[in-house]
């Protein structure tokens, strides 16, 4: 009987098998970019439960029912595909930066975009590569909401100011933390502190970057604890892949740059006319007010022309060097002399990447040479990178990431120096460039001729940088791994400066300087990653580890003078060594961190982290800080009630709250410090600083609520975020009675808020042979200084302040309200808001702010049959710019006889004139002090980048025996719309928290045309 039953069951199963026949489908999955096989791709029968993954060589085999019509392919970082079934399938997948499977780098790990419950912006490597600027940060502008990038000027190698969701400090740094392949790197200027800050991040080759992730909220950034309050920028460099053939890639570009905008200055004829008008204006004021007792106006004019101006002012004849300036014999455009015409730039990159089933590698070399639009300013660098990973065993992976570079920066003086080229515009248009009697450079100009400095001065900075780490990853069991990293960032900088005898700074004797800086950071990270298999519905990931960071900086400064000639410019030729000193500083961080994430059914997301940091920068009473964060997410689109809403492809609501810190205050600020007294014959010490053992971290508590969505089968996707950042325990220099022997003590005192919205929207408008993708992002931020206990904290040369109840860096000065039409006097608001011509009676008040309300970008990408076109606009709105040089270039000669901007031609001349430009004159001119008269709307929209490329067809590349080739032409800053007369994207106070939005003879941004070719073999 038992045998009969078994036979019957077997017959039934065979019948069922014939009713549900199966077939075997095999194929291979490759990458569209380079044809490399993709391992680990999930292959699923549509509507069925059968699932397999591709092998190392990209192949797969799956048994499906005969009724299966299509297979579904999904892979992290790539767009999902649905492909009709065939017996031998060749599937090509392409990376999709906006897909739900997009990989994002997080602190000490990676995650998919879908499962992240924090706020992270990702910028792909292709969006920062081949950008005509030395540093990758410039390429971020307008591409990530809430990330504001300020390039101080058109000088190359200069420091760049970045703010993520606003400024979070007054006295400490507000720059983000930069981490390259897991290694925190030096990003603060190591150069001469008496000149503008330079940018150490320019040592990183943008073409080596795979992606840039910006961690914006506390949930994403808190894993970096005490250094994360200003946001974290994670830079991941390129790697090889398993079973990838060796790909060789060559990039060559050549660029030409010119200024985006120039100011309009008077020519010689206009200057002479204005000079005559100033004489008449002063004489008329004297006569009308009976100051000198003239009988008639003609006598007053004669005296001012023949006596007062030549004696107490200037004589134009002296500066024309005998040339007939009144009849056009000389008309010098000094502004044109400070710029290089079509300043060239060259970049060459050569890289190779590939891998076997055990080893992956990426190796590259680069050379870059860039002349600035301003004379005597040049940046060049060369170097290489070697990234390697090797599976030593089935459990152990070893690897390294190493970059070595040498960069050289030829610097010019800061904006507030006559030796800087930007101040050449102050020279008189009636002064010739060359002395007509000697044929040499004119040494008799109104101010020291900056062309002498360009010819005879030098300031060269050479940096050697070694940046890298080694690591080992050991899989203890399938669900538990341990990773150990050891890295170092070694920066050696040598800066040699020389002022020739012919220059003002050289003083006829020649002066030289030497600075040597060695900055060495050592970092180790050691952590466990636990990813247990708990079924399809539950996904757990936990990270537990520690980190140690040590920084050592040593600097030496030497100055000398009395050189026999300009032939030898180093200090060996200096007869007298006039100054020499050396400094050393050190800091350490010891940290422990824990992060856990949990996902239930891929729709309920939970994440929590905590980090504790101990730092040598803080007193014994507050050396340790705790920085917890938590976030939740709800993938609403996974709910059953969303199944029939076909228009919504994805919908996720997330929220987070956490605490981060700011430790960027420098070293030894909590100690009682003594300085060295070098009085000859009496060496000793002098007190410098009061101790404060209670000094602690600035802390920022941040809440974030975000909504992510995708519509119409992911054709439209976007994000909306609202955040609130509250910073407490601000580090401020608090005034103390001078009777103590000190003036200030550093204390934790004050609060600041940043609140705002962020929006991003991307749409695939056309997706056929003709492709069109459009993207827009915008961010609004409101900064408020909440409480600084009545302290008066100034910046920006005393023109800006931190004021309670106002945004940081407001312009605090007299308010200009117009010109008296009867007298030509400038009018200002007094304490009661009434107009007054008495500047001393005018009330200083808040008249504007440097930080914008809105920032963002708008891009469009088109492609058709090998052609591609991309355009990015970025915009800034709600900020002000103060023309700090206007009290010289637009004041009508009261503060000197500098050449003037053409708007001065509209100045008041006689009673009844209606104008906003006051009376001019060297003696009795009006409106020549700092006020809102020269405060302007700083809003602008700019065509940041545009590129047109053509990829050669396969028929051509097969003939050439290459993999691909693309030629392109690109433009940078080609068009700008603004109400400001100069370039709105300048800031002479480059990196300050309070100072900003000031233009003091600042070099404008470059307008650049680039041609390039990309070839892959």
Residue ranges per structural domain of the chain: 21-93, 103-239, 268-330+425-453+886-929
Say whether pLDDT at 20 is over 70. no
3-class secondary structure per residue, 43-81 = EEECCCCCEEECCCCCEEEEEEECCCCEEEEECCCECCE
Neighbours of 986 (CB within 10 A): 27
* Average confidence (pLDDT) over 158-181: 92
Confidence band, pLDDT 50/70/90 cuts, at residue 11: very low
pLDDT of residue 151: 86
Give the residue with greater pLDDT, 151 vs 942: 942
Average the pLDDT over 198-225 and give the result.
92
pLDDT (tens digit per residue) in 544-586: 999 999 999 999 999 999 999 999 999 999 999 999 999 999 9
Is it true that domain 103-239 has CATH number 3.40.50.720?
A: no
35 or 9: whose pLDDT is higher?
Answer: 35
| Band of pLDDT at residue 12, cut at 50, 70 and 90 | very low
725-752 pLDDT per residue, tens: 999 999 888 878 888 888 888 888 889 9
- Cα–Cα distance measured from residue 880 to residue 811, given in angstroms and rounded to the nearest whole number: 9
Under the banding of pLDDT at 50, 70 and 90, the label for residue 837 is: very high
Helix (H, G, I), strand (E, B) or coil at 405: strand
pLDDT at position 792: 85
Residues 6+ apart with CB under 8 A from 795: 801, 802, 809, 989, 992, 993, 994, 995
Cα end-to-end distance, the chain, whole Å = 72
pLDDT-derived band at 1, boundaries 50, 70, 90: very low
Tell me: the pLDDT tens digits for 417-466?
A: 888 999 999 999 999 999 999 999 999 999 999 999 999 999 999 999 99
Q: For the segment 81-96, what is each residue's pLDDT rounded down to a tens digit? A: 888 888 788 888 876 6
State how far the alpha carbon of 802 is from the alpha carbons of 285, 426, 750, 793, 884, in Å.
Answer: 40, 32, 11, 6, 19
Give the range among 277-286, 528-537, 623-632 with minimum mean pLDDT: 528-537
Residues whose CB is less than 8 angstroms from the CB of residue 840 and which lie 6 or more positions away in sequence, other chains included: none
Write down the pLDDT at residue 100: 61
Lowest mean pLDDT, pick from 644-648, 668-672, 784-788, 856-860: 668-672
How large a percentage of the chain has pLDDT more than 90?
A: 71
Average pLDDT over residues 359-387: 95
79, 84, 88, 94 alpha-carbon torsion, rounded to 10°:
-10
The tokens of 296 are what? 């008639």
| Residue 76 pLDDT level (bands cut at 50, 70, 90) | low
Higher pLDDT, 391 or 88: 391
Per residue in 294-313, pLDDT tens?
A: 999 999 999 999 999 999 99
Sequence-ordered list of residues with C-beta below 8 angstroms from that of 20, at least 6 positions apart, any chain: 65, 66
Q: Which CATH entry fits the domain spanning 21-93: 2.60.120.10, 2.60.40.1120, 3.20.190.10, 3.40.50.10330?
A: 2.60.40.1120
What is the C-alpha separation between 935 and 847, in angstroms, rounded?
Answer: 8
Contact (CB, 8 A) for 497 and 538? no
pLDDT of 52 > 90? The answer is no
pLDDT at 34: 67
Nearest 5°: the CA angle 252, 256, 262 is 155
Tens digits of per-residue pLDDT, 224-262?
999 999 999 999 999 998 878 899 999 999 999 999 999
The whole-number pLDDT of residue 13 equals 42
User: Is residue 17 over pLDDT 50?
Assistant: no
pLDDT at 315: 92
Q: Where are the alpha helices (DSSP H) in 316-414?
A: 316-320, 334-337
- The per-residue pLDDT of the chain, averaged, comes to 91
Average pLDDT over residues 996-1009: 94
> Does residue 18 carry a pLDDT above 60?
no
Average pLDDT of span 151-174: 91
Tell me: pLDDT of 979 over 90.
yes
């Amino acid at each position: 009987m038992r045998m009969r039953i078994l036979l019957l069951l077997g017959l039934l199963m065979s019948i069922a098998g014939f009713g549900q026949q199966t077939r075997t489908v095999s194929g291979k999955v490759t990458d569209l970019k380079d044809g490399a096989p993709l391992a680990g791709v999930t292959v699923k029968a549509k509507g069925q439960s059968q699932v397999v993954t591709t092998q190392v060589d990209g192949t797969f085999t799956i048994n499906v029912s005969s009724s299966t019509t299509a297979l579904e392919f999904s892979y992290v970082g790539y767009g999902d595909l649905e492909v009709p079934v065939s017996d031998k399938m060749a599937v090509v997948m392409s990376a999709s930066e906006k897909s739900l499977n997009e990989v994002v780098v997080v602190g000490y790990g990676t995650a998919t975009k879908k499962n992240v419950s924090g706020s992270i912006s990702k910028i792909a490597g292709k969006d920062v590569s081949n950008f005509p600027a030395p540093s990758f940060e410039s390429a971020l502008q307008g591409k990530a909401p809430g990330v504001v990038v300020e390039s101080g000027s058109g000088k190359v190698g200069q420091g760049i100011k970045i703010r993520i969701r606003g400024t979070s400090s007054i006295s400490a740094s507000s720059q983000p933390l930069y981490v390259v392949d897991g290694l925190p790197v030096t990003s603060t200027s190591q150069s001469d502190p008496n000149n503008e800050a330079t940018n150490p991040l320019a040592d990183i080759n943008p073409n080596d970057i795979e992606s840039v992730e910006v961690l914006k909220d506390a949930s994403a950034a808190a894993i970096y604890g005490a250094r994360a309050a200003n946001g974290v920028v994670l830079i991941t460099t390129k790697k090889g892949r398993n079973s990838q053939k060796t790909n060789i890639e060559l990039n060559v570009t050549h660029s030409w740059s010119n200024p985006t905008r120039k100011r309009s200055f008077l020519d010689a004829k206009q200057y002479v006319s204005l000079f005559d008008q100033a004489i008449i204006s002063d004489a008329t004021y004297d006569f009308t007010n009976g100051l000198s007792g003239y009988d008639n106006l003609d006598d007053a004019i004669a005296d001012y022309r023949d006596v007062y101006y030549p004696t107490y002012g200037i004589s134009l004849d002296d500066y024309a060097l005998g040339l007939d300036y009144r009849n056009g014999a000389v008309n010098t455009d000094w502004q044109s002399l400070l710029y290089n015409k079509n300043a060239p730039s060259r970049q060459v990159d050569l890289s190779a990447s590939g891998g076997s089933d055990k080893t992956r590698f990426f190796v590259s070399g680069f050379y870059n040479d860039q002349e600035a639009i301003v004379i005597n300013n040049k940046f060049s660098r060369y170097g290489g990178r070697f990234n390697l990973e090797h599976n030593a065993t089935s459990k152990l992976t070893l690897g390294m990431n190493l970059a070595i570079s040498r960069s050289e920066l030829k610097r010019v003086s800061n904006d507030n120096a006559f030796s800087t080229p930007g101040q050449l515009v102050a020279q008189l248009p009636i002064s010739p460039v060359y002395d007509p009697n000697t044929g040499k450079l004119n040494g008799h100009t109104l101010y020291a001729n900056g062309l002498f400095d360009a010819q005879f001065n030098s300031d060269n900075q050479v940096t050697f940088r070694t940046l890298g780490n080694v690591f080992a990853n050991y899989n203890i069991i399938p669900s538990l791994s341990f990773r150990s990293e050891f890295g170092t960032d070694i920066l050696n900088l040598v800066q040699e400066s020389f002022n020739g005898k012919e220059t003002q700074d050289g003083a006829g004797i020649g002066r030289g300087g030497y600075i040597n800086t060695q900055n060495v950071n050592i970092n180790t990270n050691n952590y466990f990653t636990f990813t247990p298999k708990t079924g399809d519905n539950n996904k757990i990931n936990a990270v537990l580890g520690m980190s140690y960071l040590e920084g050592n900086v040593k600097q030496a400064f030497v100055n000398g003078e009395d050189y026999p000639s300009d032939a030898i410019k180093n200090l060996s030729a200096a007869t007298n060594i006039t100054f020499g000193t050396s400094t050393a500083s050190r800091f350490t961080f010891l940290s422990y961190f824990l992060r856990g994430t949990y996902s239930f059914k891929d729709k309920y997301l939970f994440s929590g982290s905590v980090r504790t940091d101990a730092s040598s920068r803080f007193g014994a009473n507050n050396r340790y800080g705790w920085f917890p964060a938590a976030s939740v997410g709800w993938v609403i689109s996974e709910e059953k009630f969303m199944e029939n809403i076909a228009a919504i492809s994805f919908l996720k609501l997330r929220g987070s709250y956490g605490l981060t810190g700011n430790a960027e205050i420098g070293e030894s600020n909590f100690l009682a410090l003594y300085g060295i007294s070098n009085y000859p014959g009496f060496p000793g010490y002098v007190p410098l600083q009061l101790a404060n053992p209670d000094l602690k971290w600035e802390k920022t508590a941040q809440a974030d609520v975000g909504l992510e969505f995708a519509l119409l089968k992911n054709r439209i996707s976007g994000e909306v975020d609202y955040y609130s950042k509250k910073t407490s325990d601000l580090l401020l220099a608090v005034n103390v009675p001078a009777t103590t022997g000190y003036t200030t003590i550093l204390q934790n005192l004050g609060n600041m808020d940043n609140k705002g919205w962020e929006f991003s929207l991307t749409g695939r408008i056309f997706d056929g042979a003709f492709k069109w993708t459009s993207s827009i992002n915008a961010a609004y931020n409101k900064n408020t200084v909440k409480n600084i206990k009545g302290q008066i904290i100034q910046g920006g040369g005393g023109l800006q302040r931190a004021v309670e109840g106002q945004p940081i860096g407001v312009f605090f000065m007299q308010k200009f309200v117009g010109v008296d039409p009867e007298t030509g006097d400038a009018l200002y608001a007094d304490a009661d808001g009434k107009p007054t011509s008495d500047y001393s009676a005018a009330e200083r008040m808040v008249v504007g702010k440097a930080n914008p309300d809105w920032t963002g970008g708008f891009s469009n990408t088109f492609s058709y049959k090998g052609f591609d076109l991309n355009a990015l606009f970025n915009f800034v709105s709600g900020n002000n710019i103060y023309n700090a040089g206007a009290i010289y270039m637009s004041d009508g000669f009261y503060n000197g006889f500098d050449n003037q901007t053409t708007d001065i031609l509209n100045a008041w001349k006689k009673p009844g004139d209606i104008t906003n430009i006051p009376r001019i004159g060297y003696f009795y001119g009006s409106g020549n002090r700092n006020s809102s008269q020269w405060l302007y709307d700083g809003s602008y929209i700019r065509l940041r980048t545009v590129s047109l490329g053509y990829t050669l067809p396969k028929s051509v590349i097969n003939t050439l025996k290459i993999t691909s080739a693309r030629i392109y032409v690109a433009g940078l800053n080609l068009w700008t719309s603004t109400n400001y007369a100069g370039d709105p994207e300048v800031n002479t106070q480059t990196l300050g928290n309070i100072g900003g939005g000031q233009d003091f003879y600042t070099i404008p941004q470059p307008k650049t045309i680039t041609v390039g070719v990309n070839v892959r073999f």
